[in-house]
């Protein structure tokens, strides 16, 4: 939406013209709402799984990249400190 406000910006004629960007965004949201409201979906909800399992799967999807990033960040910091564990070489 960074492009919406500059499209309506006009400093000479109407300094408040950029506020019309909100009207455009409201119209886009309204059209999206109507499409979703009147869409005839054939997708069925899988009732075989519980809500708790769905929530834990969602959190696992969120946590995997986060912990992978933290692990690589800690590894990078460990490599930069020059610390070398002598017991690990045995």
Percent of the chain at pLDDT > 70 equals 79
Q: How many Å from the N-terminal Cα to the C-terminal Cα in the chain?
A: 58
On whether the CB atoms of residues 18 and 8 are closer than 8 A, the answer is yes
Work out the number of other CB atoms within 10 angstroms of the CB of residue 34: 10
Q: Tens digit of pLDDT for each residue in 27-46?
A: 999 999 999 888 877 766 66
CA distances from 82 to 17, 41, 76, 86 (A): 58, 58, 10, 12
CA-angle at 72, arms to 69 and 77, nearest 5°? 125
What's the predicted TM-score (pTM) here? Answer: 0.44
Task: Copy the structure tokens of residue 55.
Answer: 């929530």
Mean pLDDT score of the chain: 79
On whether the CB atoms of residues 36 and 24 are closer than 8 A, the answer is no
Give domain limits for the chain: 1-42, 44-90
Q: Tens digit of pLDDT for each residue in 48-60?
A: 778 888 889 989 8
């Amino acid at each position: 939406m960074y492009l919406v406000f500059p499209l309506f910006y006009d400093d000479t004629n109407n300094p408040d013209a950029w506020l019309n960007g909100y009207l455009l965004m409201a119209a886009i949201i309204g059209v999206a709402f109507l499409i979703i409201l009147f869409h005839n979906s054939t997708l069925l909800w899988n009732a075989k799984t519980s809500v708790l399992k769905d929530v834990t799967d969602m959190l696992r999807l969120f946590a995997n990249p986060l912990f992978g990033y933290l692990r690589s960040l800690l590894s990078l910091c460990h490599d930069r400190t020059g610390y070398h564990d002598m017991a690990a070489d045995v």
